[in-house]
Structure 1
Amino acid sequence: MTVLPDDGLSLAAEFPEATRKQWQSLVSGVLRKSGANDVSDTAAEDALSTELEDGLTARPLYTAEDGAADPGYPGFPPFVRGSRAEGTAVSGWDVRQRHTDPDPKASNEALLADLENGATSVWLAVGEAGVPVTGLPQALDGVYLDLASVVLDPGADFESAARELFRLYDEVGVAPQTALAQLGADPLGLAARTGRADDVARQSAAAAALAARCDHNYPGVRALVADALPYHEAGGSAAEELGCSLATGVAYLRDLTEAGLSVDAACAQLEFRYAATADQFLTIAKLRAARRLWARVAEVCGAGPAAAAQRQHAVTSPVMMSRRDPWVNMLRTTVACLGAGVGGADAVTVLPFDSALGLPDGFARRIARNTSSILLEESHLARVIDPAGGSWYVERLTDELARAAWSWFQEIERAGGQASGLRSGLVADRLAATWERRAGDLAHRREPVTGVSEFPHLAEQPVQRGPAPAAPSGGLPVVRRDEAYEVLRSRSDAHLAATGTRPRVFLATLGPAAAHTARATFAANLFQAGGIEPVPTEDGRTLAESYASSGASAACLCSSDTVYAEQAEAAAAELKAAGATRIYLAGRPGESRGAYERAGVDEFLFAGADAVAALSAALDDMGVA
């Protein structure tokens, strides 16, 4: 409803309309005051922009001038705004819980608890990495198979797992027309994880036959999943994840149509699985772009408008899950779940916060399923259809991400398709290059990991969990954001177990607290990220006296540049004389580098430096194996 001025509610009508040029002028003025004298009005936006992966850039300001192509309406091609016209407003998204315990009895107890307390479907690992195929009936005992969808993760055992599930339908009297399941056949995803691409052709033929059976007899059962998680877990970017999933989907469409299914029936047998990360806007854009891209593929292949709607399963990213301070994972998965829900995922799996440590316990599974429940029932997140629609940033990011993903997809297709890309190393090399760049950002702490590279807690008691079954391996690597720091922390743990103490560094704070607090805090966080315990200067004692009682072999000077100029040289000399084998200085060396080094400073620690390399070298110097 339009509020007219004569109602006395003129809102912003009394204010002149602001222009982009005015904004640029104001921002450039602020930047010049901060010392950036060469920033012009037009360069202000560039100065505040953030580079993302895939050649994308997040700008500081978006207006109607930055709009992208028309995304259409929810439930209609190109499905950017959702696969269904009603979105998730009717029943919310499918809360899909994952189970990997190989004990059928324990899995049964866990999945029944989930279904009774908010979960609407189960995702069950079957075969080598989960419940034995013969244990499937026991694991699903008591589950209403015509009400709760069962999603299998069977790896290479998808044929035998499907036969066992179909047999179970007959045994418990589930009519084929009412059965709900996803059989999880994914030959290309399995080849990506195991490196065994030679068996793809046979497995693809078996998967196509299984899909034909589902199409003829089980309308509520899908046979194949185009799983993009192997590419995400190998370090791939959002565009690379999308491109690989598209190439996989196209390969499966070819297999299914060659097996006799129509294009529409083939599309109906596919589900796509994507990672949801703690970058909520990128997650939202990725899911929206995925629907747009698949709609284009389906259209070119001759699918009808309804069949071109992509079925999406979003899983909170395993790559972002930390093993140290795992409680922080609850925050990461909450943001990821929000992004998946807003992005329009049909089903969302929130991994338990302790999933990186082994088999999750009941509390962790409860928190995981309640994450969706709170967002659905208390935040009412699903009651709005495409809540991100109309955001100039989201629409522009969706468009740019879709173009980058389409370019990578075309490159894979030119190389012969996804199977050829896996065999030739094209996919592996591309993902490795992306992860190498990201690993550099992690090492330099340009991408911080709370509880790991930032604000670590050395005194925290480790969370212990039972071992989980080994996942398929031998193909693409499996990376984690915390892996470089985990190596450092493990070295520290081993040193603690062997000697009774962690490696230590003495923080030599110079001058008043106002001068040294910022850099002392920086240094303490940095050293703890490598498992090195910082020991502060004791009040009322000289540096030499405090150092002697610290139990440290190295020292780090902490203060302001002004105090450094007055005291750093003498302090370094005093600490060297007291026995410090290595002296660090928190801050950039500047023009005084030579004087500091002559006084005994060995290394400078500052924001943007390679923290992993510095900490690894520090552990080496301290004799930590």
Structure 2
Amino acid sequence: MAEKKLNLLADFPSVSAQQWMDKITADLKGADFNKKLVWKTNEGFNVLPFYRAEDIEGLQTKDAAPGVFPFVRGTKANNEWFVRQDIVVESAKEANAKALEVLCKGATSLCFILKKEDLSPAYIATLLENIQAECVELNFRICVNAAAQLATILTDNFKAKGYDVKKLQGSIGFDPINRMLQAGKELTKEEIVAKAKGLIEAAAGLPFYRVIAVNATTLNNAGAFVAQELGYALAWGNEYLSSLVEAGVDTSLAAKKIKFNFGVGGNYFMEIAKFRAARLLWAKIVDAYQPECRVADCKSTVNGICKCAAKMRIHAETSIFNKTIFDANVNMLRTQTEAMSATLGGVNSLTVLPYDVTFKASDEFSERIARNQQLLLKEESHFDKVVDPAAGSYYIETLTNEIAAQAWKLFLEVEDNGGFYAAVTSGSIQQAVKATAAGRLKSVSSRREVLLGTNQFPNFSEVAAAKVQIETVEDCGCTKGTEKLLPVRGASEFEALRFATEKAAKRPKAFMLTIGSLAMRLARAQFSCNFFACAGYEVVDNLGFATVEEGVAAAQAAGADIIVLCSSDDEYAELAPAAFKVINGKQLFVVAGAPACTEDLKAIGIEYFVNVKTNVLETLKTFNSKLGIN
């Protein structure tokens, strides 16, 4: 028996796609395949329930190799990435102490967020004291007007310390277009290009520092879907690249100075595919410029064209859109899957935001957890040991191709209309992303997009208003300057409902009047309890009552504000009118479900029904209004 080996090909003969479809069709028992098993993405393409080898025949992505043009499988021959932590610098000495501490605890990349008024050689010397710049990636964010000065100071500092500049990796987050989006700043294209060119010249002594940033995280946090974020990011990067080339900057140098910062959301496989598609498309864009190689004996040169210039440098940061204040520990689960998507997708560095970032300044504990989430992926899951493990997956290869096609279409639309700068100044980018965000918020309100602990399965007893220590930044609606694009969170409107409930003089009570069919009353009571708990109401479940009179009496004795009838569709025709009559308007009356007799029940005055098709948010707003909660 030991010598007998399992031959999968022999023991399990091949099954054709048609055979699979025949089996699925039989199992569906007449249900529509497309409606039941095919779902349409925000990007506009369909996702099938299964894929086969023939689905990826002819795709250029499947035959690519890691570290080889067009870099769909990564820009490097390994899957090592930098574990990054951001530090807001209020005091150079304190920030330095924190930086040294987090480096000892596993971080391999730092981002210092600086104030331009503090900038000086002495300040930077204090900030970087005892930090070995050759051993850690150093990133800096500062006002666009001070970026060139910072580059000069860093160059002088590193030169004075005798560093080998070829070992220094990092970035300066110069991104004036992002400033326009976030702050409504009005900048001319000429001054943007002049500042960018000056910065590149000032950073000449830091050959591996990327000093021009494309902060697509702004798009992601504002609610953009995957292909939208990618398509606009490509146009954004091309705006900088083409402008610098026109201003006389060497094409290869300009491309090598651009760094992309992407958000990473909760759509696990789509996000993996996004990063693969991003590298593929950016490589094609840069290659179209035919950048000449300036390095002697470069092994990546093809016919004198620098292929290294086409390597996209990607930093990823976990998204804000799907993070919540209530049941905030779930944020750790969200950021973990997002970190997995980013690292499997081959990013160069990653910031995992702490789970409490939505409601307060993160502390040592939450920052430690965020770092350790990445360290676990490296040390225990060995994600850094395998390059592009998704390669060859019929599903992910198809997603990569589909996302690339949609993003490329969007990129071309922006280019045909004058480029990314023109689109930002006209407000078309902001309007498109806001429209997408509105659609996603609607999906959250109706539970088509689930936020666990917020619009589905909330913690019934949790109160959270007291723990919120930061204010939400909202767009004032002012039209002066460039239209802003601010972060959006899918949970914010549900959280507002619960905060209103917490402030109310009396917490509303929803009482489950369970009667009739055991299975149906239990299922509908559970559904209804979760439904009303999303607004922070106290919910009272019950095992069952013999009569509606008994149930109504118990509800009124308990001080209920809302009575929810939970039974079967067949029984509602008799039970609902009886309960409605006994209640006699003293409490709000709700029927759980969508029975065939709904119209008949409405005809006698029953207004409220809750079921899986109900818009949870809008319905709960109605109940808040009825109960005098604002």
TM-score by length of 1: 0.90
Counterpart in the other structure of 1:420: 422
Counterpart in the other structure of 1:20: 17
| Residue 235 of structure 1, aligned match among 200, 206, 223 | 223
| 1:441 equivalent in alignment to 2:443 | yes
In 2, distance between residues paired with 1:472 and 1:620?
25
Question: Does the Cα contact within 8 Å between 1:538 and 1:546 map onto a contact in 2?
Answer: no
Counterpart in the other structure of 1:391: 393
SS in 1 for 2:467: coil
Q: Which amino acid aligns with 2:497?
A: L
Counterpart in the other structure of 1:371: 373
In 1, distance between residues paired with 2:153 and 2:463?
43
| Residue 205 of structure 2, aligned match among 201, 217, 224 | 217
Cα distance, 1:419–1:308 mapped onto 2, change above 3 Å: same
| Residue 332 of structure 1, aligned match among 331, 334, 338 | 334
Counterpart in the other structure of 1:604: 609
State which drifts further: 339-348 or 233-242.
233-242
Counterpart in the other structure of 2:502: 493
In 2, distance between residues paired with 1:166 and 1:513?
75
Cα distance, 1:317–1:359 mapped onto 2, change above 3 Å: same
SS in 1 for 2:329: helix
Question: Does the Cα contact within 8 Å between 2:178 and 2:215 map onto a contact in 1?
Answer: yes
Q: Tell me by how many angstroms 1:624 deviates.
A: 0.3
Q: Tell me by how many angstroms 1:505 deviates.
A: 1.9
Q: Tell me by how many angstroms 1:566 deviates.
A: 4.0
State which drifts further: 450-459 or 362-371.
450-459
Counterpart in the other structure of 1:544: 552
| 1:29 equivalent in alignment to 2:26 | yes
In 1, distance between residues paired with 2:413 and 2:539?
50
Q: Which amino acid aligns with 1:330?
A: M
In 1, distance between residues paired with 2:553 and 2:584?
12
Cα distance, 1:163–1:563 mapped onto 2, change above 3 Å: farther
Question: Does the Cα contact within 8 Å between 1:446 and 1:608 map onto a contact in 2?
Answer: no
Counterpart in the other structure of 1:477: 486
Q: Which amino acid aligns with 1:346?
A: N
| 1:574 equivalent in alignment to 2:582 | yes
Q: Tell me by how many angstroms 1:272 deviates.
A: 0.7
Counterpart in the other structure of 1:185: 174
In 1, distance between residues paired with 2:495 and 2:91?
30
Cα distance, 1:175–1:8 mapped onto 2, change above 3 Å: closer
Question: Does the Cα contact within 8 Å between 1:79 and 1:291 map onto a contact in 2?
Answer: yes
| 1:409 equivalent in alignment to 2:411 | yes
Q: Tell me by how many angstroms 1:417 deviates.
A: 0.9
- Residues 42-57 of structure 1: pairs in structure 2 closer than 5 A: 44=33, 47-57=36-46
Q: Which amino acid aligns with 2:592?
A: A
What are the Cα deviations for residues 427-483 of structure 1, in whole angstroms up to 9, with x where unaligned?
A: 112112212221221111001100110111142253837548979996113211112
In 1, distance between residues paired with 2:499 and 2:17?
51
| 1:306 equivalent in alignment to 2:308 | yes
Q: Which amino acid aligns with 1:603?
A: Y
In 2, distance between residues paired with 1:113 and 1:160?
28
Question: Does the Cα contact within 8 Å between 2:354 and 2:366 map onto a contact in 1?
Answer: yes
In 1, distance between residues paired with 2:175 and 2:439?
29
What are the Cα deviations for residues 474-519 of structure 1, in whole angstroms up to 9, with x where unaligned?
A: 6113211112212212211221xxx2x4222222212254331111
What are the Cα deviations for residues 189-208 of structure 1, in whole angstroms up to 9, with x where unaligned?
A: 22121222424531332122
| Residue 75 of structure 1, aligned match among 58, 67, 84 | 67
Q: Tell me by how many angstroms 1:424 deviates.
A: 0.9
Q: Which amino acid aligns with 1:49?
A: V
Question: Does the Cα contact within 8 Å between 2:265 and 2:318 map onto a contact in 1?
Answer: yes
SS in 2 for 1:77: coil
Question: Does the Cα contact within 8 Å between 2:529 and 2:541 map onto a contact in 1?
Answer: no
In 1, distance between residues paired with 2:571 and 2:134?
73
TM-score by length of 2: 0.89
Question: Does the Cα contact within 8 Å between 1:187 and 1:204 map onto a contact in 2?
Answer: no
| 1:464 equivalent in alignment to 2:464 | no
Question: Does the Cα contact within 8 Å between 2:151 and 2:202 map onto a contact in 1?
Answer: no
Cα distance, 1:571–1:141 mapped onto 2, change above 3 Å: farther
Cα distance, 1:551–1:430 mapped onto 2, change above 3 Å: same
In 1, distance between residues paired with 2:339 and 2:95?
24
Counterpart in the other structure of 2:284: 296
What are the Cα deviations for residues 55-76 of structure 1, in whole angstroms up to 9, with x where unaligned?
A: 0221101001210612121111
The percentage of counterpart residues that share the same residue type is 30
SS in 2 for 1:66: helix
Structure 2, gaps ≥5 residues long: 292-305, 477-482
Question: Does the Cα contact within 8 Å between 1:119 and 1:369 map onto a contact in 2?
Answer: yes
What are the Cα deviations for residues 153-195 of structure 1, in whole angstroms up to 9, with x where unaligned?
A: 2243434544554454466565655443201101112212122
Cα distance, 1:210–1:459 mapped onto 2, change above 3 Å: same
Q: Which amino acid aligns with 1:113?
A: E
- Residues 114-193 of structure 1: pairs in structure 2 closer than 5 A: 114-127=102-115, 132-133=118-119, 136-156=124-144, 157-166=146-155, 168-169=157-158, 174=163, 176-193=165-182
In 1, distance between residues paired with 2:133 and 2:470?
29
- Residues 580-595 of structure 1: pairs in structure 2 closer than 5 A: 580=587, 582-590=588-596, 592-595=597-600
State which drifts further: 604-613 or 546-555.
546-555
Question: Does the Cα contact within 8 Å between 1:359 and 1:468 map onto a contact in 2?
Answer: no
Question: Does the Cα contact within 8 Å between 1:101 and 1:469 map onto a contact in 2?
Answer: no
What are the Cα deviations for residues 285-334 of structure 1, in whole angstroms up to 9, with x where unaligned?
A: 10000001101101101132122111111111111211211110000000
What are the Cα deviations for residues 341-363 of structure 1, in whole angstroms up to 9, with x where unaligned?
A: 11111111111111111211111
Cα distance, 1:321–1:115 mapped onto 2, change above 3 Å: same
SS in 1 for 2:23: helix
Question: Does the Cα contact within 8 Å between 1:275 and 1:314 map onto a contact in 2?
Answer: yes
What are the Cα deviations for residues 387-444 of structure 1, in whole angstroms up to 9, with x where unaligned?
A: 0000011111111111111111111111111110011121112112212221221111
SS in 2 for 1:146: coil
In 1, distance between residues paired with 2:186 and 2:90?
26
SS in 2 for 1:511: coil
In 1, distance between residues paired with 2:497 and 2:331?
20
What are the Cα deviations for residues 254-298 of structure 1, in whole angstroms up to 9, with x where unaligned?
A: 233244432111111111111111211011110000001101101
In 1, distance between residues paired with 2:87 and 2:490?
23
In 2, distance between residues paired with 1:109 and 1:468?
28
Cα distance, 1:608–1:470 mapped onto 2, change above 3 Å: closer
Cα distance, 1:173–1:542 mapped onto 2, change above 3 Å: farther
Counterpart in the other structure of 1:525: 530
Cα distance, 1:472–1:486 mapped onto 2, change above 3 Å: closer
| Residue 55 of structure 2, aligned match among 58, 62, 66 | 66
Cα distance, 1:583–1:600 mapped onto 2, change above 3 Å: farther
Cα distance, 1:397–1:171 mapped onto 2, change above 3 Å: same
What are the Cα deviations for residues 4-29 of structure 1, in whole angstroms up to 9, with x where unaligned?
A: x9954323413332121121121112
State which drifts further: 403-412 or 68-77.
68-77
In 1, distance between residues paired with 2:438 and 2:470?
29
Counterpart in the other structure of 1:554: 562
In 1, distance between residues paired with 2:281 and 2:95?
37
State which drifts further: 161-170 or 549-558.
161-170
Question: Does the Cα contact within 8 Å between 2:89 and 2:115 map onto a contact in 1?
Answer: no
Report how many aligned residue pairs link the two structures.
599
RMSD value, Cα: 2.6
